[in-house]
Amino acid sequence: MAIPAKNEDIEVTISDLSYEGLGVAKVDGFPLFIDNALPGEVVLAHVTKVQKQYGFAFNKKLLKASPDRVDVHDRIYTQTGIAPLQHLSYPAQLKFKQKQIEELFSKQHLDIDVLPTIASPQTTGYRNKAQVPVRMVNGKLETGFFKRRSHTLLPITDFYIQEPEIDQAIELTRDLLRKYDIPAYDEARNQGVVRHVMVRRAYYTHMMMIVIVTRTKELPHADALIAQLTAKLPEVVSIVQNINPRRTNVILGKHSKTLWGRDYIEDELLGSTFRISAQSFYQVNPQQTENLYAKAVEAAELTGKETVIDAYSGIGTISLTMAKHAKQVYGVEIVPEAVNDARINARINGITNVTFKTGKAEDVMQQWQDDKLKADVLMVDPPRKGLAPEFIQAVGSMLPDRIVYVSCNPATLARDITLLAEFGYSAKQTQPVDMFPQTQHVESVTVLKRNAD
């Protein structure tokens, strides 16, 4: 059989799931990635795109269903990528995430045991943060989410995986933007005013922050917006304007100004209080974050005598948790606002055995190495791109006894473990933790120890 043609209908059997959660079928060896299809299923696939090495299709008709298939909440969550695994039963999602890591380790020839994925306490309505685009759709200002692999906004009011209170805040903000005729951002012309609405809600304290991201320095009718948002949403303690004038897909600009209330919200995590500002990173699944960080602390095997370096320390969530069990903790973070939050958080919690520094993790690590700082435990929780080569070189110079690697990307985790092996580090097991139910993403905790010479 020839390579499938665009707009062709073809009957296929699904053999696997891709890392994006798409069904995979081979047509005479040619991979076809199929939306809304699960391993073992037979589907009539409609081909939408054909490239040299692979093609895309959607499930036009389900001919034989998988026992792991469940009814979807709404197809729009698959179309936008909000919940690409919503058609897969939750136990099967957990196995998929474990298998994802196993396969990536296997490709790198890593003999590391991958434990069963730790389930999330909540599988829907768990997210404590939303970043929602604002656009004009058919002449009307809408909030929603972009269709996958496009810039087409699909209007949504119930986001399924977000806390319902966040959805309500977004809907009210949208209605007020309409009421006061405040223009939505037009990315084609780089015109208009409001680009995104970001809402953060603290799980334990219920404090809410609304961030309105604008292209312009001024936000029209700001006072009226503030009056109505605060009157109708009693949880709101902070309203912030973030200014992003650039033509970019990056959501937040560099400059924020508080329009009303505090510059931050506060939440609790593992017995400590944390201050969170608009630009700061904070895990989005608060209940599961406690499980993730408890695993990380357990993996560090702290006795109270150790010096710990926490690279990518953010607002100090892991640093301050570790500080309760270590002699001294040093945190490094590139976002100045987050470092400021971290220092305040240490003060709020009465923790004095921690020091935070602003800068790139790889640069500060090298500086600490030059200053003869010796770490017993290195804690890393990098972004999806993983550890920079310069950072790994600095680790090779400092040679901490143990590395606790919290990863949000199994591919870069496998790569980095392979690179760290050159300096004598190896891992025996990885613990996946499901921070993002209904999606393909998975976090994990891996301990790397130096081999005895």
Catalytic residue IDs: 408
Nearest to 63 by CA among 90, 47, 45: 45
Alpha-carbon span 378 to 307, nearest angstrom:
9
Strand partners, 213: 196, 242
What torsion, rounded to 10 degrees, do the Cα atoms 430, 431, 435, 437 define? 100
Residue 197, SS3 per DSSP: strand
Nearest to 196 by CA among 135, 278, 132: 132
Per DSSP bridges, beta strands 425-433 and 113-114 are: parallel
Residue with tokens 């590395």: 403
Continuous segment of H or E residues that includes residue 269: strand 264-269
Q: What is the identity of the amino acid at 367?
A: Q
Structure token digits, residue 165: 């209170």
Other Cβ atoms closer than 10 A to 190: 12
345: phi then psi, degrees, rounded to nearest 5: -65, -35
